Amino acid sequence: MRSAAEVLAYLQGERKVTVDGKKVKSFQIEPKESDHFVVTGALKQDYEDIVKEFADKAQPGDRNTDYLPQDIADAIKARSKKENAPRYKFVVYSTVLDKYEHPSVIQVSKCMWNSDTDTNCNITYSNSNFWCFVAVYAVYTE
């Protein structure tokens, strides 16, 4: 039997509780104030540097260009996971288009979330060959 203090701590998400050696979810629906994920200027600059690095190395018609959106998304997701953001899941949406084949583009993305806890960051980069758009969503999950 658990004490009232243990139950209260459990409900507030302050302590991990195990039952028969298995973790039980805390049902904490919002992060603590110190755990809110915020996209800082330095982090956004890191994202922009990643996109620029990959786009500048790629050449139109190269076989590796087919994997450019995936490579950019994987690198940005790996960088995002280095941030100490407990219980946040990162969704990275990446589009890379050849400027000559797709001269005009309208880009729309949508994600349903809680505006108090979740955030996003958009990066657009263009060079002489490619147009790149990346959306990074940080979504708080239980």
At residue 82, does pLDDT exceed 80? Answer: yes
Question: Binning pLDDT at 50, 70 and 90, where does residue 42 land?
Answer: very high
Query: Does 41 share its domain with 6?
Result: no
Q: Give dist(CA 132, CA 124) in Å, integer.
A: 6
pLDDT above 60 (res 110)? yes
- Whose tokens are 């990346």? That residue is 134
Regarding whether 108 and 78 lie in a shared domain, the answer is yes
Cα separation, 22 vs 43, whole angstroms: 35
Q: Flag the least confident range among 8-17, 65-74, 83-92.
A: 8-17
- The C-alpha angle 52, 56, 62, rounded to 5 degrees, equals 130
Q: Mean pLDDT over all residues of the chain?
A: 81
Count: domains in the chain: 2
More confident residue, 17 or 82: 82
Determine the structural domain holding residue 13 and report its residue range: 1-27
Whether residue 7 sits in one domain with residue 19: yes
Pairwise CA distance, residues 129 & 106, whole Å: 18
